[in-house]
A and B are shown apart, each in its own frame.
Chain A
């Protein structure tokens, strides 16, 4: 079946611009995670959605970052006023409710010039 999809696969933007990254989880997966993969910093958790519950935003690095999940499916991660340090690969993962294994999308590679 279809896996987690993300778009765009690559995004180049200028410092100060806003960007939106999209994640389409596996059908039926109620849990959705965003992670950021930076050179030298490894993977870090950003935000978690579970069904209709309030998201866990504890990993968002600043108030320039926000995310929403519409209809319990597609999620959008928005970065406002991008900075060069936001350059990274943004990974989305989903899982079944109560399931430990997370399934990852291919990521969006963001470059802020």
Chain B
């Protein structure tokens, strides 16, 4: 079965330090991977995606993620964290067996707290 794991429920980092939010996946076939962010009482906002090509993907708000096929990982990174980055982060993978239905399979989310 296709699945996504976010091994950390919460990540704490000091402002200005680099941050990493981890994601591993289990899919058969080539994975299409996504990161979304959710601010309190707001919907999900798209950050970045990996479909094919360069393993390092750059996205919104200075975030980037690296696709690592051998480790089946797609960790989200940012070189210098801001307090405003504090939010809930979700990793997702497209179900490759759903045909035209591009439904996403989601991790449980990681709460990021950036301390001033």
Contact surface of A with B, Cβ cutoff 8 Å: 4, 31, 33, 35, 42-45, 48, 50, 53, 56, 59, 91, 93, 95, 100-107
Contacts and interface: CB of A to CB of B under 8 A. Distances in A.
Main secondary structure of the interface of A (DSSP, over half): strand
A8 to B, nearest CB: 14
Interface of B: 32, 34, 36, 41-46, 49, 51, 90, 92, 94, 98, 100-109
A102 B109 CA distance: 17
Nearest to A40: B108
Given A48-B101, A56-B98, 14 more contacts: A4-B43, A42-B109, A45-B103, A48-B102, A50-B101, A59-B103, A100-B94, A101-B34, A101-B46, A104-B36, A104-B43, A104-B46, A105-B43, A106-B42
Contacts of A50: 100-101
Contacts of A59: 103
